[in-house]
């Protein structure tokens, strides 16, 4: 059996004090605990959540929209309302702006939620449901003809309640 031994030593020929060479911190190769988390929604699509509720009510076919996040969907029913759902993986309900309305804390099937009547003016409402502390789903309604914020909130709540069981449970 042969053992290989590596020996290192300092040369006594060069005077001075040995000091370690600082290593450069390269953020592109360093592993960070602040790395962006994986999308909590996975392959779930906003249009798949919106379509079952709105088609039954005579709305147009939903179409992808990317106003609030890359995973949004909007549809309309001429003369009645336009509605949307967004899956927002990088901001919880606490980051949601109330716009012209006021956030009203609520619960939806045991999840933290907020309603924002009047967020986009009169005849409008958004219901946001927490999907963990850093993600949310929003369901928004804007009535096209005269109506109330409460009527808009009723439709937003209905859409959110139908979609909520399909949402992942966040941490």
CATH of residue 113: 3.40.1000
Phi-psi region of 140 (alpha: psi -120 to 50; beta: other; left: phi over 0): beta
What distances in angstroms separate CA 35 from CA 31, 32, 67, 97, 149, one per listed residue?
8, 6, 24, 25, 40
Query: Which regions in the chain score pLDDT beneath 50?
Result: 1-36
Look at residue 105 and tell me if it is in a domain.
yes
pLDDT at position 145 is 78
Q: Which domain holds residue 108?
A: 46-166
Look at residue 40 and tell me if it is in a domain.
no
**From edge to edge, which strands make up the β-sheet containing 72-77?**
63-65, 72-77, 81-88, 136-143, 124-130, 111-117, 104-108
pLDDT at position 22 is 41
pLDDT at position 107 is 95
Look at residue 94 and tell me if it is in a domain.
yes
Look at residue 128 and tell me if it is in a domain.
yes
DSSP class of 1: -
Beta carbons of 164 and 149 less than 8 angstroms apart:
no
What are the phi and psi torsion angles at 152 (to 5°)? -65, -40
pLDDT at position 56 is 93
DSSP class of 119: B
pLDDT at position 31 is 38
- Report percent pLDDT > 70 for the chain: 77
What is the count of structural domains for the chain? 1
Phi-psi region of 5 (alpha: psi -120 to 50; beta: other; left: phi over 0): beta
pLDDT at position 11 is 42
């Amino acid at each position: 059996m042969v053992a290989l031994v590596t020996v290192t030593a300092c040369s006594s020929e060069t005077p001075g004090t040995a000091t370690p060479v600082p290593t450069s911190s390269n953020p592109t190769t360093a592993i960070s605990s602040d790395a962006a988390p994986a999308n909590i929604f996975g392959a779930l699509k906003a249009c798949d959540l919106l379509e079952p509720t709105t088609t039954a009510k005579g709305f147009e076919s939903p179409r992808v929209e990317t106003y609030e996040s890359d995973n949004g969907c909007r549809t309309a029913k001429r003369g009645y309302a336009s509605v949307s759902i967004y899956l927002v993986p990088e901001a919880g309900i606490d980051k949601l702006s109330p716009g012209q309305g006021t956030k009203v804390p609520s619960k939806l099937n045991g999840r933290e939620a907020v309603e924002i009547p009047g967020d986009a003016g009169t005849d409008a409402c958004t219901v946001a449901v927490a999907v963990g502390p850093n993600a949310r789903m929003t369901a928004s309604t804007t009535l096209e003809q005269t109506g109330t914020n409460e009527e808009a909130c009723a439709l937003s709540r209905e859409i959110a309640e139908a979609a909520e069981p399909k949402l992942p449970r966040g941490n």
